[in-house]
């Protein structure tokens, strides 16, 4: 193998590029596995009030936890609940579709 000689400027440039790449990798936002009532409502195409009604009346609806004074749902639990509702053929629950008046 032959050796490659680099100037000090080239070495500094490589070091700077490496630092930029690693800072972008480690500072990237991570997906949050817990979602607020507002985020769940947006995902399901419902209102926040509807989500709160589900929390009170639907025993199969995922139980949230309180994080920082706000209710948060584990997204995996919400997806499982949604699949269960689809299998049951729940006609009153149609996520992602808004009925026109």
pTM for this entry: 0.56
Average pLDDT for the chain = 77
Are 75 and 33 in contact by the 8 Å Cβ rule? The answer is yes
Q: What is the DSSP letter of 21?
A: H
- In angstroms, the Cα distances linking 84 to 42, 47, 62, 71, 90 are 19, 20, 12, 22, 9
The pLDDT score that the predictor gives to residue 98 is 44
Q: pLDDT tens across 31-78, in order?
A: 568 899 999 998 888 999 999 998 999 888 999 999 888 899 998 898
The SS3 of residue 29 is coil
Provide φ and ψ at 40, rounded to 5°.
-65, -40
List domains and CATH numbers for the chain: 34-88 (1.10.1660)
Instruction: Determine the pLDDT at residue 51.
Output: 92
Return the pLDDT at 99: 43
């Amino acid at each position: 193998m032959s050796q490659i000689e680099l100037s000090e400027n080239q070495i500094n440039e490589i070091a700077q590029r490496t630092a930029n790449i690693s800072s972008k990798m480690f500072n990237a936002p991570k997906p949050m596995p817990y979602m607020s009532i507002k985020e769940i409502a947006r995902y399901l195409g419902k209102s926040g009030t509807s989500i709160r009604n589900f929390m009170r009346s639907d025993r199969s609806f995922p139980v949230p936890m309180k994080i920082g004074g706000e209710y948060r749902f584990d997204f995996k639990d919400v997806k499982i609940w949604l699949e269960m509702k689809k299998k049951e053929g729940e006609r009153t629950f149609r996520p992602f579709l808004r009925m026109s008046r």
